[in-house]
A and B are shown apart, each in its own frame.
Chain A
Amino acid sequence: MKHFEPIVVAFCCTFCAGNTALGARSKKSGHASPVRVIKLPCVGKIDAIHVLKAFASGADGVFVAGGPFSQCRFIEGMATAQKKIEYTKKLLKELGIETERLEAFALSQTEGKHFIEAAEEMVKRARALGPSPLKKAKKAA
C-alpha cells in the first residue's frame, strides 16, 4: 500500500485564522500535509452540510477552530459550533464515518501553536484510521 497522506480541512473563524499566521511567524512548523483552511467570519456559521461536503470532497479529517468560549468575539460562536459538531457527529455515525475524524477545538486566540497542535492531532487521528470510508466506497464503485 502506498504512503497515506491524509487531507485535513479546517474551518476557522477570522480571529483564529489570523492568528495561525502569528504562530507561523514565530516558529516555522514543519508541516507535512497542508491543512485546507476554510475561513468563516465566525465558526458559529458552521453547518452539517459544510462538514459533509468536506468529507465528500475527499477529506480524511475535519476540524473547527474557534476562540475560547468565554472570549468568543461573537459571544456564542464557539458554543453554537460545538452543538453543530456534536449533531454532525451523529450524522457521520449513521453514514459509517468514524466520529473521531471530526472535532471542534476552542483555541487560545493568540497562540498560533495551538492551531498547529490541533491540526497535528487531526492528521494523527486520520493516519491511524486510514483513508476516509467515503474514499474507499468511491473507489469500489
Chain B
Amino acid sequence: MTKKITEEQSSVGAVVVAGAGIAGMQAALDLAEAGFKVYLVERGSLGWQQFAKRISSQHVLCSMSAKLLAVQTHNSIELIENATVEDIQGVPGNFLVTVGSITASAATGKSSKVKKASSRNQLEVVVGALIFAPGFNVLTASAKYDFKAELRTLTCKYGFSIQGKKTAQGKPGILQTTSQPGIFVAGESSAAEGSIAGSSVAALAAEFLARRRGSLVSEKQYPPERRVSGEEPCIGVFMCRHLLSDEKEFSGITNSARKLSSVALIEELPYMCSSEAMQRIKSAITEQGLNRVIAVSCNPGAHEALFQEALAEAGLNRYLLEMIDGKSAGQAIDAVSLRMSAARTRLLDPLKEISGTVIQSGLVIGSGLSALSAALSLANQGFEVYLAEQEHEENAAPSKLKRTRENADISTVKRALQKQIAGHPKIQVFSDARITDFSGHAGSYTTTLSNNGDAKVLKHGIVIVESGQRQKDLALLMKIPVTADGAYLRPDALLPLDLACGGMFCCSFEDSAAGISESIIQGRAAAGRAATILAKRELILSSIVSVVDQEYCVACLACVRDCPYHAAAIAEEGVAFIEPAECRGCGICVSACPRAAIELKHYTDKQILAQLAALAES
C-alpha cells in the first residue's frame, strides 16, 4: 500500500478480480451471482480461439468455453482485457484501484516487470475488495509456470504479505488471505482446484463485503418478447462443428434439413458455446425472423441456459428452443433425428415465467473441518445456517484426517472453528441429528431432523453435505445421484462441488486426502457456490408445469392422488388445480388423468406424438 487513508468510509459492493484464469473467472462469476459488481482484469485477452490453442481435451474445452461465455455475458461483470492492476489506494472496503492497459507484446512477455506509468490508457475503479488470481491461466500457462514467483512479485508490488504459510506447507496463499484486509489471493494448480480456489476466495470477499451485497448491481434488461403465436413456424438449426466429423457429414444433414418445411436456416458454428456463436444466433433470429431454434451441441444440461439466454436477448421466449444432444449414446445427428426434432419444435409454445421465493438460509450436514468451514462462511456472508452434525460422524472423519500431514494441528483448528460457530448468532447447531425427511427444490427445501427423539422441521434454500459417513443413507433419502462406486455425482468438471440437483453442494470429496487448508477451502468454496442461490430473493423456476383444462376436469381426484408432490388439489370451482410453483413438471398427473384434461407444458402429447410421427415420414 503506497498510502493509507485512515478515515472511515463506507464500503463498496464491488470487487476487482485480477487474473482471468479458471480461479479468477469462477470467483468473478460467483461474486456476480451473489450480488456484487465485478471488474475482471486480465493481462491477455479472452476468447475460445485462445482456449483452443491451449487445451487439447475437447470435454474441458467445451466446459471452459461455456464458462467464458458466462463471464462475457454477465450483467454484473466488466471484463477489462489487456490490462493489469497498477495501483491501489484507499482503505479496506473502499479501495481506489488504477487499472492500466498494456500492449500486446508486454502482455505475452515478462509479466513480473513493473511497468512505468506513461501515456497509456488508465482506468480508476472504486471497489470494496481485491482478489488476485494469478497462477494456472489457460492463456499464459506453461509447464514451468512459476506460481510462487508471481505471488512474490505481487506482494512486493503492493506491500502485503501472504498469511498462513505455516500450515500451508510450501503452498503460499492457500488460505487466501493477506496481511491487508480486503485483499485476497486465490492459489490454483489445476483446473478443478482452480475453480474451488475461485469459489472459496469469492466467499471470502463476500464475507468481507456482506453488508454491501446487491448495492451496485442492476437487473438485466431484455427486449420485449416477440409474439409468435400467429406466425408460421420458422426454425433455425445451429450445429456445433465439433460434433460433425467432416464437411460431407454437414452437407448431408443440410440437404435433408432443407426438405423440412419449417426449417429456414441451417448453419454450423465453430463453437456453439462461444460469444461469437451467440451473436450469430441472435442476429439470425432478428434478421431472418426465426421464431424457433434447434441447437445441436454437447452437454445440454450445462448449455441449455446459455442458448435460452441468447433467445431472450433476441426477444424470443426461452422455451422456443429445442436442444439435441449431439454426444448422446446411440443417438446420432442424422436426417431422421433432425426431422423428429423439427416436428416437435414446430409445435413449441412460448411459456410464462414462474418464480419462487428463495428461503435465505442454508443447511450444512457434517461435522468435519470442511462442514464447519462452510457453515461459518455462509453465516459470515449474512445467511442463517443450520448445522446438522450427523450421528457417529466423529468416529469416521478424524481417522481420515489423521493420515494427513498436518495431523497435529487438526484438533486445534477444529476447536477454533467450533468456538467461532458456537458464538455465532446466525448458526444453529444440531448435534447428533438424524435426517428423517427431506423434500423441496433449489431455493426452497424442507428437512425434518430427529434430534434426541425430538422432530425439528427446517426450511432452507440450499444444502451442503460433507462426504463420508452415512453417505449412502443420505443419498437415498435426499435423492442425490451417485456414481457406481457410491460417490456423489458431480456432473460439471469445472464446478466440482455442485451436485447433480440444483441447490445442493458437497464440501469435501473422498477422492482427495484433504489436509487442513484444503478442507477449509473446500468448505468455504461450497459456501461461495451456495451464496449464488441464497443471494437471490427469487429464483426463476422451470415453466414446464402441468396445467388442468378446467372445462374437461370432472374432479375424479386421480391427479390429486397420484401427484408425488401434492401439488394438485380441488379448487373452489370444484375442479382440479395444480399450483405452478409446487409443480415439478414430472407429468405423472397427465398419464393418470382419464379425461386427458391435463397438459404438461413443453412436453404436450401433441408435441410428443408429432415427434414420433416424424419417425415414419420418409
Contact = CB atoms under 8 A, between A and B. Distances in A.
Interface of A: 7, 9-10, 15, 17-18, 20-25, 29, 31, 34-38, 40-42, 44-47, 49-50, 53-54, 56-59, 67, 70-77, 80, 84, 108-112, 115-116, 119
Interface string B578-618: 00000011111011100000001001010011011111100
Interface in B299-319: 299-301
A45 B603 contact: yes
Contact of B328 (A9, A21, A70, A74): A21
Nearest to B564: A75
Nearest to A67: B481
Given A46-B591, A109-B489, A40 B562 contact: no
A76 B483 CA distance: 21
B613 A57 contact: yes
Contact of A54 (B336, B481, B615): B615
Contacts of A45: 586-588, 590-591, 600, 603
A59 B608 CA distance: 15
25 contacts: A7-B615, A18-B491, A21-B325, A22-B491, A24-B328, A34-B330, A34-B331, A34-B334, A36-B331, A36-B337, A36-B340, A37-B330, A45-B600, A47-B591, A47-B605, A50-B609, A71-B479, A74-B564, A75-B565, A76-B562, A77-B588, A108-B484, A112-B329, A115-B330, A119-B330
Interface in B483-531: 483-484, 489, 491, 500-501
Contacts, number: 148
A30 B500 CA distance: 28
Contacts of B584: 74
A9 to B, nearest CB: 7
B450 to A, nearest CB: 21
B476 interface: yes
B564 A41 contact: no
Contacts of A109: 481-482, 489
Contact of B327 (A25, A31, A36, A67): A25
A56 B500 CA distance: 36
A9 B564 contact: no
Given A37-B328, A71-B481, A110-B489, A21 B299 contact: yes
Given A9-B612, A36-B340, A54-B615, A29 B587 contact: no
Contact of A34 (B332, B475, B482, B586): B332
A102 to B, nearest CB: 14
Given A15-B481, A35-B331, A40-B603, A84 B616 contact: no
Contacts of B59: 25
A53 B337 CA distance: 16
B371 interface: no
Interface of B: 59, 298-301, 325, 327-332, 334, 336-337, 340, 475-476, 479, 481-484, 489, 491, 500-501, 544, 562, 564-565, 584-588, 590-592, 600, 603, 605, 608-609, 611-616
B595 to A, nearest CB: 13
Nearest to B485: A110
A40 B337 CA distance: 16
B587 A76 contact: no
Nearest to A113: B329
A110 B483 contact: yes
A116 B603 contact: no
A77 B331 contact: no
Contact of B484 (A9, A47, A56, A111): A111
Contacts of A59: 615
